[in-house]
Structure formats: C-alpha cells, structure tokens
Amino acid sequence: MELILLTGVVLVSIHICQGYDLSHNKVKAEIRKHVLKDYDRIVGPVKYGDTQYLEVKFRLSITNLVEVNTKEQNLKIDAWVWQKWYDEFLAWNSTNFKKIGYTVFSPKEVWVPDIALINNADRTERLAGGPTKFVTNINAWRKGSMTWLSPATFSSTCVQNVKTWPMDVQNCILTFGSCTYPKKNLVIVPITETYTK
Ligand SMILES: *[C@@H]1O[C@H](CO)[C@@H](O)[C@H](O)[C@H]1NC(C)=O
C-alpha cells in the first residue's frame, strides 16, 4: 500500500482517542481470561480454510509534518495509525458473559498485524510497525472484531530534487507492508471513513 504525500499540502487529521468504557470491568476480565486461555498469538487469526486470506484495514492520518530533511533525503511525520481486522480465535458468546460484547487486549498478548513502514529511515528503530512501534491497547468486540488506534512518529526516505527551490514540489511515498505475510495472504485495505469504535 502506498501513500503519496505532497509536502506543503494540509492533510486530514483525527483527534479522537479511545473512549474506554469503564463499566463491567470484572466481566471484561472474565472474557479476557476465557478467550486467552490456550490462545496462540503467533499463528494468526484465521481458524479454518487454506485458501483464506486475511484482510487488515489500514489508515494513516498525518497530524504533523515534523521535518523535511533535504540533506538526509528523508521526511518525518507524526501520525495516527488505525488498523482493523477479525480474529476468529478471540470471539466469545456474550450470553455467557452478562451480554458484555467489548473488552481490551494488549498487543503483546494477541496476534497483531506486522504492517510496517518499508522505506523506514529511522536507524534507531528498524521495524517501524507492529507491537514494538504501536503500544496502545486493542479494542475487541464479541464477534472477533479488533480495532487498534495508535500514535506514531515515522521517518521515511524521500528522494528530493531541489533544483527549482523555492518553487519546488516534492513527492514523498510512504510504503507500508507486512514483513512476514506475502501480499496475497495479508491484504491491506485502505480505510476511508473517519474513526469510529
Ligand atoms: C451462546 O450461549 C447460549 C447459552 O449457553 C446458547 O444458548 C447459544 O446458542 C450460544 N450462541 C452461540 C452463537 O453459540
């Protein structure tokens, strides 16, 4: 998936953090215990079928253009990354849990997509994605729907030509992809709507 960023253009932003519902925490803890028992966070979220692929919905919203570095040929941005997928192993029957249909997981305890910035220019953080980059919790719904919204700062390579400076326009392409899944097995679908739980 590629996202073209024109420097100097104002980009869409979202300013919503998770509206965490504090009620029924005891039941939510029971749900967590129930679904995480025997859960394997490495194998991936599809239970059956060998032709199935996994769909991860993805949106990057840039909130701040931090730096355009012509000498280093890179670009630094602040952004929110919003990812959605289904994990069939993490569904539960809400009838057995006081009709509670929502809980929360840490990215360290469940499978999460390893979608990362491929043209990453940050040498202190070689993997610009996955649970090492995105540290916020994942909202989970009873049918296995996962929503992960995380803030992150990205440095990407961006080849710039400044011959026509100061009238120049630069195109920076941020390429995101999975490091372990081939394209046909993990399909990245852009999210077009604004953030909702
Ligand atoms: C959920 O659990 C209830 C009570 O045990 C049961 O009657 C119902 O069939 C279950 N629903 C599903 C979708 O498994």
pLDDT in tens, the chain (197 residues): 555 554 444 444 444 545 556 678 999 999 999 999 999 999 889 887 666 788 999 999 999 999 988 888 999 999 999 999 999 999 999 999 999 999 999 999 999 999 999 999 999 998 999 999 999 999 999 999 999 999 999 999 988 877 777 777 888 899 999 988 888 889 999 998 776 55
Question: Which atom of ligand 1 sits closest to the CA of residue 94?
Answer: 1
Whole-angstrom distance, CA of residue 133 vs CA of residue 42: 17
Q: What is the pTM of this model?
A: 0.83
Residue 25 Cα, ligand 1 centroid: separation in angstroms? 22
Whole-angstrom distance, CA of residue 87 vs CA of residue 106: 14
Question: Which atom of ligand 1 sits closest to the CA of residue 93?
Answer: 1
Residue 94 Cα, ligand 1 centroid: separation in angstroms? 8
